[in-house]
Amino acid sequence: MKRIGWFMPVSAALALLLVGCGPDGGAGGGTGGAAGEAAPVPSASVVTYGCLTAEQGAKGAITVPSDISSVDGYYRDSDAGGAGVAIVFSHQNGGSLCDWVPYLDGFTRAGYAVLPFTANGDVATGIESVAGYLKTKGVNRLVLIGASKGGTGSLVAGALPGLAVPVVAVVSLSGPESFGGDNAAIAVKRLATPVFFAAEEHDGTFPADARSLHAAAVSADKQLKIYPGANHGAALLADGALPDVQAFLARYAPPTG
C-alpha cells in the first residue's frame, strides 16, 4: 500500500472534465461560435450518491485516489468545527457510504468529523487513502468503524504501521475473521488500540466470528457485545448498538482531550 498525495472534490473534478471537452467530446474549443469565442461551460452537477442532500454533496462529496481505483467519500466536520478526531466508516459487501448517512448527525454533534466512503477495492487500502486526506483537514486521530467486510478491513487497517493519522479505536460490527485479502484473525494479534466487537446472535456465523476475534485480540481494552436479533452490519446501530458504540468512543477516543 502506498501513501496518496492528492484529492479532489467531486464537483471540481466534474467541472474540470466539462471544461476540457468541446461540444464534439474532444479536447479544446468548439466550432459553434465565432473565432476566438469561448464555448460556454456547463455547470458541474452536484454529486449526492443518492443519499446526500444537494447541500451536503456540494460541501463534502470527495474523490480520493487509491492504489486500486478512486474512492468516493463524504467528509463532514463536527458541528462545532475544527475536529481533531475523525471517524472513518467502511461498509459491508454490496453496500456503500450511504449505509452510514442516517447515523452521522449523532457523531458530528458529539464533536467528531466523519468520513464514510465507498470501497471500490480493498477496504484497508481505502482507509489508508482517506487517512491521508483527513490529515489535510487537520485531523490527528482516527476511529475506524466497519460493517461486515468493512469491520474486517478496519481491524486490518488499525494494525497497519505508518498510517498518515494514528488509529485510536476500532469498532467491528458483524466483521468476519477474514474477507478477501483482509485477515482480521491475524490483525487482532497485533492491534493494540481499544477495540469493540459486536454482532447479533442469529446472524449466521458472525457472532461466532466476533467471539473468536475478541478472544484472540491482544488489546488491553477490548469489548464484546452480542445483541438479540439477526441484523447485520450498520443495521446494528439502529438495533441497540449505537449507544454502546458512543459510550465506547467517549471513553477511549473522546473528540477532545
Query: Could you report the per-residue pLDDT of 229-239, keeping only the tens digit for each?
Result: 999 999 999 99
Q: Is the CB of residue 49 less than 8 Å from the CB of residue 97?
A: yes
pLDDT band at 119 (very low <50, low <70, confident <90, very high): confident
State the Cα–Cα distance between residues 203 and 122, nearest whole angstrom.
Answer: 24
Q: Are 92 and 201 members of one domain?
A: yes
Q: Is the CB of residue 160 less than 8 Å from the CB of residue 1?
A: yes
Q: Is the CB of residue 182 less than 8 Å from the CB of residue 170?
A: no
Q: Are 32 and 130 members of one domain?
A: no
State the Cα–Cα distance between residues 6 and 124, nearest whole angstrom.
Answer: 18
pLDDT at 255 over 50: yes
pLDDT value for 65: 82
Q: Are 12 and 90 members of one domain?
A: no
Least confidently predicted of 67-71, 91-95, 204-208, 244-248: 67-71
Concatenated DSSP letters for 44-112?
Answer: PPPP-TTTS-HHHHHHHEEEE--SSS-EEEE-B--TTS--SEEEEEEPPTT--GGGGGGGHHHHHHTT-
Comparing 17 with 153, which gets the higher pLDDT? 153
pLDDT band at 44 (very low <50, low <70, confident <90, very high): low
Q: Is the CB of residue 72 less than 8 Å from the CB of residue 130?
A: no
Question: For the chain, what is the domain count?
Answer: 2
Query: Could you report the per-residue pLDDT of 89-112, keeping only the tens digit for each?
Result: 999 999 999 999 999 999 999 999
Question: Is 1 among the domain residues?
Answer: no
Question: Is 2 among the domain residues?
Answer: no
Question: Is 134 among the domain residues?
Answer: yes
